[in-house]
Amino acid sequence: MSEATRNTRTHLHLSAQARSLAPKLLDQQLWCWGCDIRRAAGNLLLAYGFLKLKAPTETHQSSAYTLCFTSGAQITLWAFGVFYGAPPLGGIYLKRGGFAPRYTSTHRLPIDSWCAEPPCRAPATPAQCANVQSLLSALSAWIADYEAWVVAYTAPDYRAACVAAWFAHKRAIEGNAMVSAWHTIAEECRHASIIS
């Protein structure tokens, strides 16, 4: 958690193991999604069902990819972070380089045009922290499912090659351990303490 999140009256407290692993794993995951986009055999995010939203030229940003689920949940990926929202919980935004969830009561972002990161803030009440806890767990579980799909859909060494191309000093784990690592983070989030 970031210092800002720690200094609020109410916050979600993850285990030391999760606080150490999660930011590195998220950074590695964002790198891997970039690899999936650039994959020579075709864009994996599009194959999975994501919609590509091109950024306006003046923003000098990369495209966003968004996926809406039949449950009403939505995930949006940028090079700089990820948004996950689900009714009636609201949404969370995780910025690259950390694992400090920012919260919004909005569970959907525009799907017809590119948008920047949503206006979110650190959860401030026990109810918001409980929503963040559920959303973080659901997002982490979905990432584990996505990684399992990548393993089934691509060549056996594809994800390992993506991770091997990532900076060695930034690597969280080996490519073949990403599914289990995200399941671990999902469980850690599910059982995190809410401290007031």
Block residue for tokens 């390992």: 160
Q: Is the dihedral of CA 28, 30, 31, 32 positive or negative?
A: positive
Q: Which two tokens stand for residue 23?
A: 């930011």
* Helix boundaries (H) for the chain: 3-7, 16-38, 44-48, 126-153, 158-164, 178-190
pLDDT in tens, 19-73: 999 999 999 999 999 999 999 999 999 999 999 999 888 888 889 999 999 999 9
User: Could you say which DSSP state residue 79 is in?
Assistant: T
Q: What are phi and psi of 134, to 5 degrees?
A: -65, -40
The pLDDT of residue 104 is 95
The pLDDT of residue 121 is 93
pLDDT in tens, 63-94: 999 999 999 999 999 999 999 999 999 999 99
What average pLDDT score do residues 96-110 get?
A: 92
Q: What are phi and psi of 110, to 5 degrees?
A: -55, 140
- Any residues with CB less than 8 A from the CB of 20 and at least 6 apart, and which? none
What pTM was computed for the model?
0.91
What average pLDDT score do residues 174-185 get?
A: 95
Taking alpha carbons only, the member of 39, 60, 3 closest to residue 161 is: 39
- In percent, the amount of the chain with pLDDT more than 70 equals 95
pLDDT category at 107 given cuts 50, 70, 90 is very high
Q: Is the pLDDT of residue 8 over 50?
A: no
Block residue for tokens 């193991």: 17
